Structures are given as C-alpha cells and as structure tokens.
Amino acid sequence: MNCELAQERMVMAAYGELPDELAHELERHVAGCADCQREREQVRALKVLADVHPVADPAPNLVARAHLRLDEALDTLPPKRWYERLGERILNNFASLQAAPAAALLLLVAGAGAGVLGGYEYAQGRFAHAATQASSSAGPQVETAAAMPGLADIANISSIVREPNSEIVNVSYSQLVPRQVTGSLDDPGIRQLLMLATENSASPGVHDDSVALLAAECRAGHSCQSTGIREALMVALRRDRSAKVRQKALEGLEPYVADDERVRNAVLQSVLNDSDPAVRIAAIGLLEPVDADTSVQQVLYSVSNSDQSAQIRNVSRQVLSRVPETQ
C-alpha cells in the first residue's frame, strides 16, 4: 500500500466504514510510515471537530436573496426586438430567396421599414436612459434606519462610512434607485445592513468595513448575539478570502471563545485549515483560556507534532506546556 492510497482510506477508517482486511493493511502501513501517522492524527482531530459542529442548512432568507439576485440578473438581459428576429429569419432564408425574386423584393422592403422603426425605438431607448441618469445624478436619497425597506428588497450595499468619534454610521444601498440610511451602530436596522454587507456586497472595501465594524462592536462588549453578529463573524472566519478580514473576525470572536462552543469550534477549524500562518497563530492564542478543553488539546497536540510550520508547532507546544495534563 502506498501513502496516497493509505491517506484516502484514513477517512473511511475514522468513520468505521473500512472493511477489516483493509483496516489491518492500513494499520501495518501507518505503523511504519511517519508521514501517514501525522496525516491520521489530523484526520482524527478534524473528525472530533466535525462531530461537535453539525452542518446547518442555509437560512431561508439567504436562499430567498439568492433567488432574487438571480432573477434580477436574468431581467437585465435585453430581450430581442421584433426587427432583430425578422433579420435573423431573413438571413436564415437567404438561400431560398434567391429562387423567389418577388418574395425577396417584398422582404427587402419590409426589412428597410423594420430598420427605420428600429432606429426610432433605439433613439427612444437612448432618450429614456439619459433621463434616468439625469434623475439619479441628484445623489442617493437619505432616510432613517426606521424607514428602510425589508432586506429582501435590498440589492447591494455600496458604501459604509462611520462618522468620526460617534456611533453614527452611514450605509448606502441599492434598491431600484440608490438610497442611504443613517443610524446608530446599536440600531437593529443598521446591524442588519452590516450583516447583509458581509454576505452580498460586490465591493471588497464595503465587505471589509462591515466585518471590521461588527468585530469592533463585539470587542466593545455591545450586544453581539450568537444568531446575529457572532454568526456573521464565524462565517467570515471560515470562508473569507482575505486574511485581514479573517483576522478581524477572530478579534471580534475573542470574548466568546470560552462560553460559546460554536465559536470555539470555528477557531479550532482556523487552527487546522487556515491558509495564512498569522491567522493560525492568532487563533492558537485565542485558545489559551480554554486550553484544558479536550477538543482544544487534541487539535493543539496534533498541530504541535505534525504541522509543516515550525513556528506554529512551537506556539502550539508553548500553549500545551501550560496545561497540567494533556488528555
């Protein structure tokens, strides 16, 4: 058995799905292969995390917003005009028209008329587009958070600006026309917009600002419920492409590592899977207050013995050295 095949069978063995004869063969190979021993330790540690962290179905609001965005994208595709369809038919039947001069002349006249009408419709469309741009140039409408529409009616968050030395934040979002809402960071409507920006914003700057503001609220000890802001930060920690954003999410989750098992599991996943060494080291530092937890010790023990980074191995060993007994 080679290492590649052994590592494929480790997952099945961890869940008890590997036949006995293959399991014995795997054990013989692992006993004489240091690399596979380290790989199996990581698989077992990951299984511990998976067992304590069940997979959650996507929220109904998220699914609804995804359908809304898809419908909007499809609606932006311009339908073919009648004269475009007529032009296609003319081209498709050009060969047959060569044998029918009278019909060819008739369709040629019809095509010329279609071209004139098409130009007229095009001019009308350009005029309507110019009028729309002129009406939107006056700038976004500003309203209070209490007057904003439901989240399902919001297409995108375009900017987030916090007023200096205050709790007031201006959030610009797009509906049918650009709008802006102003309110305190403690306002439920403002918080909903910030959480929406962490998921749906097409602007990296807006996305980063929203995560940073939510993390700052949690670190400041403001209301940070597990099903709201805290959950948004955990999603950012697991999935965000930016190491800077994941680091901000870690900072916001720090006060809840000891009391919230879901937060602790999210931090453990970062220790095992994050691609940035700085984020992994920061996650290990967050686990020090709960280093007596069995799952934490198992992950740190696995990382301290088998991780490719010497720095991460040393940091993990330092944390484990402060624990009286590693289970």
pLDDT band at residue 51, thresholds of 50, 70 and 90?
low
For the domain covering 141-321, report its CATH number: 1.25.10
Task: Find the mean pLDDT for residues 114-124.
Answer: 51
For residues 191-222, one letter each, b for 16 or more C-beta atoms within 10 angstroms of the residue's C-beta and e for the rest, the string is bbbbbbbbbbbeeeebbbbbbbbbbebbeeee
What pLDDT, on the 0 to 100 scale, is given for residue 145?
A: 61
Stronger pLDDT, 17 or 143, i.e. the higher one:
17
Q: Is the pTM of this model over 0.85?
A: no
Tell me which amino acid residue 220 is: A
pLDDT value at position 99?
A: 43
Question: Which has more pLDDT, 193 or 310?
Answer: 310
State pLDDT tens for residues 205-231: 787 888 888 888 888 877 777 667 888
- Diameter of the chain measured on Cα atoms: 100
Both tokens of 90, joined, read 């003319």
Q: For 106, left (φ over 0), alpha (ψ -120 to 50), or beta?
A: alpha
Whether the predicted pLDDT of 84 surpasses 60: yes
Compute CA 183 distance to the chain's CA centroid, rounded to the nearest angstrom. Answer: 26
Which ranges in the chain are annotated with CATH 1.25.10? Answer: 141-321
Q: Supply the pLDDT for residue 184.
A: 81
Sorted by sequence, the CB contacts under 8 Å of residue 205 that are 6+ apart come out as none
User: CA 206, CA 155: separation in Å to the nearest integer?
Assistant: 14
Tell me what the mean pLDDT of segment 188-212 comes to. Answer: 76
